[in-house]
């Protein structure tokens, strides 16, 4: 069975304190790993897509990396506005199934 | 433009009511999705439409009835819901067969907060 596990469940950082969020996956036939940011009561906002082990993508203070078993979302010098839930999702299997399987998310709080 | 719009933003309905949720996108995407999200949980897939045809139904109860009238619109018709159906309902869209693999991502709308009383 395909599984996506995110850790930690919650993370509290001081402003400027860099850290990493983890997304480990056990799937058959990975067709893409996606990172989303979700603010309370709103829809997920797309951040990154990763496809191959060794791939890295960056956007402002965020950097996503991918290995054969896990992905990391590195947050460098976070600011309070980075506070949100970060969701990892995978797209697996045959091209006929286009749905995403989400991890349970990491709730990030950045304090000033 | 990567915008998916959903209406209404909030909906309160009784268990005997019939209501509809609406979703619209103008990105030329031919795959559209309905997800259900409970508080502090990840989104759970309900339905997938591909080229306006239902391709996935994740064993959703028949009190939820999806409809895709054209390539830009997606509806979710609600009837005889239960209080446990209260949740954030999210619509998303994506390419079916993108020109490059880096374009398989799904774009989500802001959601409809549904409360069943």
pLDDT tens-place string over residues A61-112 = 999 999 999 999 999 999 999 999 999 999 876 555 567 889 999 999 999 9
Among residues of chain B, what percentage have pLDDT more than 90? 77
Q: Residue A29: its pLDDT value, please?
A: 78
Residues of A in contact with B90 (CB under 8 A): 43-44
CA distance A109 to B58: 33
CA distance B30 to B96: 6
If you average pLDDT over every residue of chain A, what do you get?
A: 92
Residues of B in contact with A89 (CB under 8 A): 42
Residue A32 to residue B48, Cβ atoms within 8 A: no
Q: Residue A93: its pLDDT value, please?
A: 61
What tens digit of pLDDT does each residue of B10-31 get? 999 999 899 999 999 999 899 9
What tens digit of pLDDT does each residue of B61-114 get? 999 999 999 999 999 999 999 999 999 999 999 988 766 666 678 999 999 999
Q: Residue B86: its pLDDT value, please?
A: 97
Handedness of CA B45, A97, B25, B64 (dihedral sign): negative
CA distance A42 to A40: 6
Q: Residue A98: its pLDDT value, please?
A: 64
Residue B33 to residue A99, Cβ atoms within 8 A: yes
């Amino acid at each position: 069975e395909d599984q996506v596990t995110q850790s930690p469940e919650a993370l509290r950082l001081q402003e400027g304190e860099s850290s990493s969020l983890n997304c480990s996956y056990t799937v058959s036939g990975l067709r893409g790993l996606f990172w989303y940011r979700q603010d309370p009561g709103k829809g997920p906002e797309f951040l990154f897509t990763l496809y191959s082990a060794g791939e890295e993508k960056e956007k402002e203070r965020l950097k996503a990396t991918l290995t054969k078993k896990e992905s990391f979302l590195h947050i460098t010098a976070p600011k309070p506005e980075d506070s949100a839930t970060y969701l990892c999702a995978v797209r697996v299997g045959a091209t006929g199934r286009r749905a995403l399987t989400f991890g349970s998310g990491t709730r990030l709080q950045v304090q000033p | 433009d990567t915008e998916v719009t959903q209406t209404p933003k909030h909906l309160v309905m009784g268990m005997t009511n019939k209501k509809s949720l609406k979703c619209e996108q103008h990105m030329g995407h031919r795959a559209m999705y309905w997800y259900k999200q409970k508080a502090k949980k990840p989104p759970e897939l309900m339905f997938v439409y591909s080229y306006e045809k239902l391709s996935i139904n994740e064993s959703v109860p028949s009190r939820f009835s999806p409809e895709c009238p054209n390539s830009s619109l997606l509806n979710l018709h609600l009837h005889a819901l239960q209080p446990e159906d209260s949740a954030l309902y999210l619509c998303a869209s994506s390419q079916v067969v993108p020109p490059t693999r880096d374009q398989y991502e799904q774009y989500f709308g802001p959601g409809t907060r549904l409360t069943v009383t």
